[in-house]
Amino acid sequence: MADRIGLTWRWSYALRGVVAGAPAAVAAFWDVQLAAGLAVGLIPVCSMPLAPSRRARVGTGIYGVLAAASIVLGGFLAQWPVLAVAGIVLAGGLLGHAVAALGRPLAMLGLLLCLPLFAIGFSYPGTDAVGPLAGDILLGTAWSVLVALAWPTHDGSPPAPAPMPPRAVIVPYGWVAGAAGAVCATVGFATGLEHVGWAPAAALLVMRPDPPAQRLRSLDRLADVALGAGAAILLVLAGPPDWVYALAVLGVIAAVTGTVGSRWYVLPTFTTCLVFLLLLAGDPDDAGSRFWERLLETGLGVGVAAVATFVVLPAVRGRARA
């Protein structure tokens, strides 16, 4: 049921998260970082509503496949920063044209999913670095789909996708989104940031053709990142036994699935928590620097996205109409 503050919780969805997250939780008894990585791999499918039919549930695997492919491409290009920066601009522009040409809401996945995950790949330069993450995503996708197939079917239809923005909006939006990602990536590469992909991914994950939606996502993401990182840091610094880590991983995945459909943009709380467990489980002394690194890079991305959407995009569209 959805409450008045925009947060939805469904126990049946949460139970699916418990089943999907069980292997990752078990892995925590041997290696917490492995457990966190496996849990991250579950996110692309577990963060989606459960489709009514089993046939439609098989199709949700495309989210994980696209996520893995996008991250691998970004990681490959990250070996050459100039190519990476140029690549994200070109990818944004071409995706904008492709979405407009296809005219289907599902095609928006290119801009809303593939482009941000392409940017995340910049944090893992080279196939050796990005390969394990892509592998976790593909493995998690396969397992999540199998769990979904085991769930009873139900009446109803999947949530209707958001209406397609007109071509006059989506084409310039694609180019401006790519440029926003490029600005953030350029700052990261030029200053030698360890996680170059954090800022451009933050920018692209909050950017939307609808300004009110972007305002809400921007505020939510900043709060979510601080909350998720803080929770992981407190857990790691407490030095709990392995079973506590196992319960934490299980709880995070249950929360991912249980809150699907919320109006609030809460997913970054859970993804950030898992990422920080992955980063800090073996090196808790870095907790403070990691926290500020993540928060500041998220702020950079959100700020660049705001300028891109509220200043650059209207200017580009106005010039096109002139």
DSSP calls for 274-310: HHHHHHHTT-GGGHHHHHHHHHHHHHHHHHHHHHIII
Specify whether the CB–CB gap between 206 and 221 falls below 8 A: yes
In a domain, 275, yes or no: yes
Question: Closest by alpha carbon to 171, among 229, 85, 100, 235?
Answer: 100
DSSP 156-212: S-PPPPPPPPPHHHHHHHHHHHHHHHHHHHHHHHHHT-S-TTHHHHHHHHH--SSHH
**Residues of 126-146 as b/e, b for ≥16 C-beta within 10 angstroms?**
eeeebeebbebbbbbbebbbe
How many other C-beta atoms are found inside a 10 Å radius of the C-beta of residue 151? 16
In a domain, 2, yes or no: no
In a domain, 5, yes or no: no
In a domain, 1, yes or no: no
What tokens appear for 68 in the block?
A: 């893995």
Q: What is the reported pTM?
A: 0.89
Half-sphere exposure of 87 (CA within 13 A, CB side): 23
In a domain, 307, yes or no: yes
Q: CA 43 to CA 179: how far, in whole Å?
A: 27
pLDDT at 3: 46
pLDDT at 153: 80
pLDDT at 1: 41
| Ranges assigned E (strand) in the chain | none
Sign of the Cα torsion 92, 129, 46, 140 reads positive
pLDDT at 4: 47
Mean pLDDT in each 10-residue stretch from start to end of the chain (322 residues)? 65 93 95 93 91 87 93 96 96 92 82 94 93 93 94 68 74 94 96 93 92 86 93 93 95 94 88 93 86 93 94 80 58
In a domain, 6, yes or no: no
Provide the number of structural domains found in the chain: 1
**Residues of 61-72 as b/e, b for ≥16 C-beta within 10 angstroms?**
bbbbebbbbbbb
Question: Closest by alpha carbon to 71, among 116, 37, 34?
Answer: 116
Q: CA 278 to CA 272: how far, in whole Å?
A: 10
In a domain, 3, yes or no: no
CA distances to 20, 39, 236 from 33, rounded to whole Å, are 18, 10, 11
- Domain residues for the domain of 38 are 11-152+160-321
Question: Closest by alpha carbon to 180, among 81, 76, 311?
Answer: 311
Q: CA 272 to CA 168: how far, in whole Å?
A: 35
What tokens appear for 70 in the block?
A: 């996008």
Length of the chain: 322
